[in-house]
Structure 1
Amino acid sequence: MIRLEHLTKVFGAPGSGVTAVNDVNFEVPAGEICVLLGPSGCGKTTTMKMINRLIEPTGGKVYIDGRDTDMIDPIQLRRSIGYVIQQIGLFPNKTVAENICVVPDLLGWDRKKSRARAAELLEMVAMEPASFMERYPKELSGGQQQRVGVIRALAADPPVMLMDEPFGALDPINREVIQDEFLRMQETLRKTIIFVSHDLDEAVKMADKIAIFRAGRLEQFSTPDRLLANPATPFIETFLGSDRTLKRLRLLRVAEAMLAEVDVVRREDPVEKAGELMRAKGYPAVLMLEPDGRPGGVVSGDVISGGQASARSGTCGDHAEPIRAAVPVEADLHSTVALMFTHDMPIMPCVDEDGQFQGAVTYRSIIKSLSIPETPA
């Protein structure tokens, strides 16, 4: 757990200096990622560097797991905290294994133990130890170097990590891959992380909590969902952008918008049954299930309202269009809406990992799931 109490930094002479961080208070529970976000010069990096005392506070306190960091030797403190920067900072004259083991070696770890740890971490980021342990940084791609920089911070198994725009220099594809790998590791490792970013989409994806700064002050501290739903000030509303509702779709799962008790038809049912369901339930279309419980087709409103007499007779199987896509219940709503637009599907079947039908989402059910939380965090 990291707790900041009245943390303040003034650069320059007392009374005439520049206040970079002004009376910041927040707490990050153990095992969570807190992203510090805000415009350039707002104090987010200075705040992060005061946690490991790379910058000494002018006032206030930082506590890590209840310990006042002022009472800890700065060198000892920094060796107990993982640190990742955008520029990576690998030693060019050291191998990948030696770079990863810098802190374990300083802490006096047995060489066999530290190299085993390096191999374990390389495997976690999909880099085969036998192929990469003895390479030098210049022999790695930019994305591979960034992976090594991240796992180097994990080598001594620190409970706390500080990350200063760690993925900012990567191209979008590599950044997305490494973000996903890091989140997968975090599910297991549960480190307490302060993460500086200038990218709102990255913050929404990575954070358990977001702290938005402006001119050295903490403007709002909240979960990503509540932040996007309830910006506390006009500045934050402007900073988040007019599309903040769309950004929330990444945070919500299909299960949160799914109609679990949706009425369906079978292949042998008369097509008029689909029409009755649309009229009675307000469905934009009706899903047809196969005997094995999988979605097999969709009867659209166009069929039911079609002018031809044949559209109103026959079975659902005669008129159903093939299912173009289905979404897992654990998928996010952002990707779901993209599929619905791509395939022109106003109703989307939701399935479990075995492809069995679980429910459906519609545009209306998604809008309902975006209702603003009652109280801000």
Structure 2
Amino acid sequence: MIRLDHLTKFFGAFIAVDDITLDLPAGEICVLLGPSGCGKTTTMKMINRLIQPSSGKVFIDGRDTSGINPIELRRSIGYVIQQVGLFPNKTIADNICIVPDLLGWDHKRSRARAKELLELVGMQPDLFLKRYPKELSGGQQQRVGVLRALAADPPVMLMDEPFGAIDPINREVIQDEFLKMQREIRKTIIFVSHDLDEAVKMADKIAIFRSGRLEQYASPDELLARPANAFIENFLGSDRALKRLRLVSVSDAMSTSFDSVKRDEPVVRAHDLMRASGLPAVLVVNPDGVADAVVTKDVANGASGSVADHAKPIGAAVSVNADLRNAVALMFGHDMPVLPCIDDAGRLKGVMTYRSIVRNLGGGDGV
């Protein structure tokens, strides 16, 4: 969908972007990453010709953009910036509909589109369509900025640190909302960021720049597993193996072959199961298949009576839809060497153990 072919930009004698070539398939997100001044924003702005390339070509859906009128080109590409840039004297509906109005859309059609988009990000149209930007929080304004870029349904979007000015809690929420929306709309997106964690979370592909040159272009997992050179390795940090936890879902990493016991069973059975598996705990499930307690090996060793006499309530459980980073945080935060993995109804679908974490990071055997 987007192809950069030997794209280069000079500012006088300074080479800001040096012979960049990459291909981004339709429906994917490419995050441009690297130190300040490395050329990532300049590269992005050459795609919609806010900056004119010195040499090289940009192709969108096979079409050479140098032959397209710049105004027409920009109206066909969604553009989101960190500062949002909403018009303070226009309502939210009018802000979202800027490009459709410029393109001559029927008023009823464009406002229906604004309503549809607000619903997509959980903002009630009846509450927000007639408000003004000053009446919205920073996070809400940023959502509207994204919706404005989507209003005319462009196939391509450019996003320049779109969530950088949002506080960490709201940033996570907006990122999650955007990814959920992307799964439905499948836009082709170039996304500039300074945040490696954000890039790993958001990207299908990551392009790392240094001094105007493209150092590595790969999927997040490939990048973290096999950095191309010492610069990339240092840029990613010594904890890059831990960053890979975000890329593995609990459903893919959990063990679906596991032991559990019921409250009315003898505790010696729980101890025998733990001795056979080598695990330090076993989960206790109720008749509905929900894990609501745990028995540890230390407690069960030499004990008598039923499981119910020795079980303790579980401290936490993780959704099968979460990622391994969330699972690890829960395991450490609640001191749970065996973490129940549950579906939306709370039913036990698998377990996560320290060994299964290590296995999914590429070393050792797991349970």
Could you say which TM-score interval applies, normalised by the shorter chain?
over 0.9
**Secondary structure of the equivalent of 1:36?**
strand
In structure 2, what residue type is equivalent to 1:4?
A: L
Question: Take 1:40 and 1:127, find their aligned partners in 2: how far apart are those partners?
Answer: 34
- CA RMSD after TM alignment: 1.6
1:161 to 153, 157, 164: 157
**For the structure 1 residues 188 and 285, does the alpha-carbon distance in structure 2 shift closer, same or farther, using more than 3 Å as the test?**
same
Question: Take 1:7 and 1:176, find their aligned partners in 2: how far apart are those partners?
Answer: 33
Do structure 1's residue 71 and structure 2's residue 62 form an aligned pair? Answer: no
**Secondary structure of the equivalent of 2:355?**
helix
* Corresponding residue of 1:205: 201
**Secondary structure of the equivalent of 1:249?**
helix
1:355 Cα deviation after fit: 2.0
* Corresponding residue of 1:356: 347
Q: Deviations over 1:152-210 (max 9, x none)?
A: 11110000000001111122222222222211211111110000010111111111111
**For the structure 1 residues 266 and 98, does the alpha-carbon distance in structure 2 shift closer, same or farther, using more than 3 Å as the test?**
closer
Relative to the length of structure 1, the TM-score reads: 0.92
| Superposition map of 1:30-109 within 5 A | 30-109=26-105
**For the structure 1 residues 344 and 216, does the alpha-carbon distance in structure 2 shift closer, same or farther, using more than 3 Å as the test?**
same
**Secondary structure of the equivalent of 1:198?**
coil
**Secondary structure of the equivalent of 2:58?**
strand
Question: Take 2:288 and 2:316, find their aligned partners in 1: how far apart are those partners?
Answer: 17
Do structure 1's residue 369 and structure 2's residue 360 form an aligned pair? Answer: yes
- 5+ residue gaps, structure 2: none
Question: Take 1:223 and 1:192, find their aligned partners in 2: how far apart are those partners?
Answer: 15
Greater shift in the superposed pair: 128-137 or 82-91: 128-137
* Corresponding residue of 1:375: none
Contact 2:300 2:310 in 1 (8 A): no
**For the structure 1 residues 130 and 318, does the alpha-carbon distance in structure 2 shift closer, same or farther, using more than 3 Å as the test?**
closer
* Corresponding residue of 1:289: 285
* Corresponding residue of 1:338: 329
Displaced runs of 4 or more, over 4 A: none
Question: Take 1:284 and 1:365, find their aligned partners in 2: how far apart are those partners?
Answer: 14
Do structure 1's residue 24 and structure 2's residue 15 form an aligned pair? Answer: no
Aligned-residue sequence identity (percent) comes to: 71
Relative to the length of structure 2, the TM-score reads: 0.94
| Superposition map of 1:312-323 within 5 A | 312-323=303-314
Q: Deviations over 1:67-89 (max 9, x none)?
A: 11112121111110000111111
In structure 2, what residue type is equivalent to 1:55?
A: I
1:179 to 175, 182, 185: 175
* Corresponding residue of 2:5: 5
1:147 to 124, 140, 143: 143
**Secondary structure of the equivalent of 2:346?**
coil
Do structure 1's residue 298 and structure 2's residue 294 form an aligned pair? Answer: yes
| Superposition map of 1:168-247 within 5 A | 168-247=164-243
1:265 Cα deviation after fit: 2.5
Contact 1:23 1:217 in 2 (8 A): yes
1:129 to 125, 132, 139: 125
Contact 1:256 1:369 in 2 (8 A): no
**Secondary structure of the equivalent of 1:187?**
helix
Q: Deviations over 1:93-138 (max 9, x none)?
A: 3222222111111111111111111122222223332332233323
Aligned residue pairs, count: 363
Question: Take 1:25 and 1:234, find their aligned partners in 2: how far apart are those partners?
Answer: 21
Question: Take 1:104 and 1:140, find their aligned partners in 2: how far apart are those partners?
Answer: 22
